[in-house]
Amino acid sequence: MASTEREAPAPREGLVHPTRAGYGDTDQSGIVHHAVYLRWLEDARATWLREHGIDFRAMERDERAGFAVWKADLRYHRPAFLDDALAIELWVGDLGRAKIRFDYRVWRDETLLLEAQVHLACIDLDRLRARGLPASVRAAIP
């Protein structure tokens, strides 16, 4: 997680998710608050999962399975400011039996603002314990 040159998402199929820094995302000086990035990453991840045919409601209802973030690593390179148009690159960095790691880069034009990795565990919603990824989820991830 150190390159500041723009590279294509890899090794799995990625997504570029646009967002814009709004007034409620910033402090009084117009700089985006550090915690806002986690919400933006989650929005991008939900879009990626939906575009890959993963239906959260069906997974929760039919398989009693869900995802829980168990680790998030964020490295801030530069600040984002009020009204900045941003691009969030997202791809699956690692896929395990019960875990998925999503990798991210947040850009303003050609300036790298943030690199992140968010680790999700698939959980049994009744026991609140880790479980294997449902076959439908595994099949949907390229």
> Above 90 in pLDDT, residue 3?
no
Q: What CATH number did the domain enclosing 90 receive?
A: 3.10.129.10
Evaluate whether residue 6 is within a structural domain.
no
Tell me whether residue 93 is in a domain. Answer: yes
Say if 2 falls within a structural domain: no
What's the structural domain count of the chain? 1
pTM score: 0.87
Among 25, 27, 55, 73, the active-site one is 27
25 assigned to active site = no
Sign of CA dihedral 116, 30, 7, 139: positive
Q: Report whether 91 contacts 105 (CB < 8 A).
A: no
The pLDDT tens digits of the residues spanning 9-60 come to: 444 568 899 999 999 999 999 999 999 999 999 999 999 999 999 988 999 9
Residue 53 lies in a domain: yes
Q: Give the structural domain span for 62.
A: 15-140
Residue count of the chain: 142
pLDDT of 78-112, one tens digit each? 999 999 999 999 999 999 999 999 999 999 999 99
Does 10 map to a domain? Answer: no
Cα distance between residue 123 and residue 46, in whole Å: 17
